[in-house]
Structure 1
């Protein structure tokens, strides 16, 4: 399987070992375990995986891909409504899970790491769907972004080039395995490159320090917690590269990381729909805070003004970032009109992010075109989805959700609510039972009314005043 080329190369060597928590799998064990899963799923077009941070998840995803299925990672903290939507919308007929008692709307099959198979399966075609990853927008339920084997391979290879990523590396991270960062980069990337992977289970600073890696992945919240333990941060000086993504890295945190670890972290930019399209390079020791780098191999990027024309590359003029390249998704599952609004006939994807370009060609992300996208602890959270969940509570009459600054998370989910006879704790718990736990409001503010314009639209920019 081309996507797992590095794992196949390392089968006869000490490299390529995957360790998640206390469980370690050699390349031979991983391939044989995945082979048993491939036997089970053969003929199933779409297979969901309950994507806990476990060896079972890695075996399930690799096995389902080997078996020719499109894989749908399901967040383990998703609430019943969100999970039901993902399973129904994706068309998955089988859910692979480490927990045999997991209740779901479709057949659940437990993954047993003791099972083995050396059966061979047909190589997936490059254009065949590898992953359907659900991403939240500003309104409505999450949409399924369809990613092909070709896109995953192109995205990983471009980063291997930018980061000088090679089989001798030891990649360390503790990120969730249902997002691009933790799964595509942090697991499939390691398998394609053929390097060892140490997933710490959780992104704990002491676990990061003890792992003795050469390449570390984290989101700003992780790096903030690492820097809060200077002794742990100091132990990362022996690493080759520290990479930060999924949200903007604050300038003071960039400086603190440099002070404690001796590294200028590599910042990069991407989305579920595009994988990573912009990145700083490992061979650029002068990289500066706030810049997410230049287009990776195969990518074109431009910043477009409201008139549709490119804006000057002066580091100050801003516009919407458009990107295109071989790692882009094929579209939103079952939503051709929504896809057409974001991905044009020439392959340009309108990211919705506002950016500027320096004279040297590096990009700086300024913000979201809409304030309805919240980036909290490395997660992208659509405000509309949380608002819908709050409005489902019988005591809530109106709700508006925004992101407010938070030193640890970057942004926290803050809800402004018009309601009767309900507490903030009740609403937080209600949302956590309905949606993924990380989407729950961290703060609920009760107000008499939401500010609206003459057309009745909520004026969110007035909510913080």
Structure 2
């Protein structure tokens, strides 16, 4: 039986921040103590209350990762406002109006560097210290009322379908923090923060976990895009923990200093996308864990052991119940399962007892961990109406030929299929591929062998199925 959540945000934040020097928030231009962050958050509490904000009112936060973001976050958790963090780049004049309308929010907070072209109505820019230095503007009138049990509205990345807004409660977020803390909490450690704080992974398992457990939070202002800046930061501070996506891990292993950094970390989570066979081998030399979960799970479903890696591994369930449905899709339920979706018509609540399907196809490994096969949406239909489950065939090829690093089966746009493949020695021949495809092999036209660098990848490091290859494709000769 799971332990109940015994303390809410007020107790936790008060015990952790009031009058304390740590955790320190280390930014390029300033170092904030816990006490100074707390003082700033109290200024936000005062200003928001004076403006007439009520518990459950929605506030859009388009602030960059920094002190103002943390202060507004703490104030919202303390007074029970529904915070909707978004990427600052998404807010221009049209974006501000659209966000306020979509979320029926009463206020949008943004940074002065991003204010050009944004109408001031219902928008607010904090002072240089990160807190309000003047009265807030008149709040927008909400039409859908308050949502007092909604802690956050977070937008999904869209990798498992169209991007949507997910409603998480205090209980959802605290359940994941409680279930994961014994394994990943950076207790009295120094965290290098690179993930965006407007996504569930970076916000919950990254920032909130660090605020409640770390000694220092060193923020990379470029979010890991400038590798040399990241490595200079890591060398300037006693970094012990770091959460990251496979794309950044791959880039770091390609640099001597990056590989040293990853191997000296005491902990951290790699998640957000499946891990390739090559990266899995490299990660075996670290104490990093695989983490799996979606925004709908706040975002914790599974976790691996330190340094235990294999291609596309997801770990095993933590803090929730998990099952694999008859069609191979992973489903979960538990205290981490979201309240529902936010639409233009307001909150669409889901049955809290119902299983929530992730849309991810998985298989159970011999050690009890789950392995990612693909997404149910990766399927495509041929002209004769036959549905092709691409992920199943791709997984069969990976299992039969461990030398295969990447493989993708797709429609050729007409009446057949084609395959893209990257492998080391002992690559499967065209005849081998047709054997695995069975009756579908008759429709296989071209097997294109390409180099590792030819794949088009997302920021997370996974192959972009919409545009999987760069052009021109450097063709690797057949063995």
TM-score, normalised relative to structure 1: 0.69
* Contact 1:133-1:145 within 8 A present in 2 as well: yes
Cα distance, 1:272 vs. partner?
A: 0.9
Q: Which residue of 1 aligns with 2:439?
A: none
280, 292, 295: which one aligns with 1:269: 292
Deviation per CA, 1:230-250: give whole Å up to 9, x if none. 123214433211321111121
84, 88, 98: which one aligns with 1:85: 98
Does residue 148 in structure 1 map to residue 169 in structure 2?
yes
Find the residue that maps to 1:301 and give its secondary structure.
Answer: strand
Residues 277-292 of structure 1 mapped to structure 2, 5 A cutoff: 277-282=300-305, 286-292=308-314
**Where does the alignment leave 5 or more consecutive residues of structure 2 unmatched?**
1-6, 133-146, 381-453, 473-479
Find the residue that maps to 1:38 and give its secondary structure.
Answer: helix
Larger Rg: 2
* Contact 2:110-2:125 within 8 A present in 1 as well: yes
Computed over aligned residues only, the root mean square deviation of the Cα atoms, in angstroms, reads 3.5
Judging changes above 3 Å, is the alpha-carbon distance between structure 1 residues 77 and 133 closer, same or farther for their aligned structure 2 residues?
same
* Contact 1:162-1:281 within 8 A present in 2 as well: no
How many residue pairs match? The answer is 364
Residues 29-428 of structure 1 mapped to structure 2, 5 A cutoff: 29-42=36-49, 43-44=52-53, 45-78=57-90, 80=92, 84-99=97-112, 101-104=115-118, 106-112=121-127, 114=129, 128-137=149-158, 142-163=163-184, 165-202=185-222, 203=224, 204=227, 205-207=230-232, 209-210=234-235, 211-258=237-284, 262-282=285-305, 286-297=308-319, 299-306=320-327, 319-334=328-343, 344=351, 346-371=353-378, 405-406=455-456, 409=459, 410-411=461-462
Q: Determine the C-alpha separation between the residues in 1 that align with 2:151 and 2:346.
A: 22
* Contact 2:271-2:292 within 8 A present in 1 as well: yes
Find the residue that maps to 1:276 and give its secondary structure.
Answer: coil
Judging changes above 3 Å, is the alpha-carbon distance between structure 1 residues 372 and 95 closer, same or farther for their aligned structure 2 residues?
farther
Residues 428-447 of structure 1 mapped to structure 2, 5 A cutoff: none
* Contact 1:18-1:196 within 8 A present in 2 as well: yes
Judging changes above 3 Å, is the alpha-carbon distance between structure 1 residues 61 and 444 closer, same or farther for their aligned structure 2 residues?
farther
Task: Indicate the structure whose relative CO is greater, using CA pairs within 8 Å and at least 6 residues apart.
Answer: 1
TM-score, normalised relative to structure 2: 0.67
Judging changes above 3 Å, is the alpha-carbon distance between structure 1 residues 324 and 281 closer, same or farther for their aligned structure 2 residues?
same
Judging changes above 3 Å, is the alpha-carbon distance between structure 1 residues 15 and 115 closer, same or farther for their aligned structure 2 residues?
closer
* Contact 1:209-1:232 within 8 A present in 2 as well: no
Q: Determine the C-alpha separation between the residues in 2 that align with 1:9 and 1:50.
A: 26
* Contact 2:65-2:221 within 8 A present in 1 as well: yes
Judging changes above 3 Å, is the alpha-carbon distance between structure 1 residues 369 and 35 closer, same or farther for their aligned structure 2 residues?
same
Q: Determine the C-alpha separation between the residues in 2 that align with 1:291 and 1:367.
A: 12
Judging changes above 3 Å, is the alpha-carbon distance between structure 1 residues 344 and 370 closer, same or farther for their aligned structure 2 residues?
farther
Find the residue that maps to 2:322 and give its secondary structure.
Answer: strand
6, 9, 15: which one aligns with 1:3: 9
Q: Determine the C-alpha separation between the residues in 2 that align with 1:218 and 1:278.
A: 17
* Contact 1:220-1:247 within 8 A present in 2 as well: yes
Cα distance, 1:102 vs. partner?
A: 4.4
Find the residue that maps to 2:301 and give its secondary structure.
Answer: strand
* Contact 2:455-2:470 within 8 A present in 1 as well: no
Judging changes above 3 Å, is the alpha-carbon distance between structure 1 residues 155 and 372 closer, same or farther for their aligned structure 2 residues?
farther
* Contact 1:266-1:279 within 8 A present in 2 as well: no
* Contact 2:263-2:287 within 8 A present in 1 as well: no
Q: Determine the C-alpha separation between the residues in 2 that align with 1:228 and 1:139.
A: 29
* Contact 1:167-1:196 within 8 A present in 2 as well: no
Cα distance, 1:51 vs. partner?
A: 3.4
Q: Which residue of 1 aligns with 2:26?
A: 19
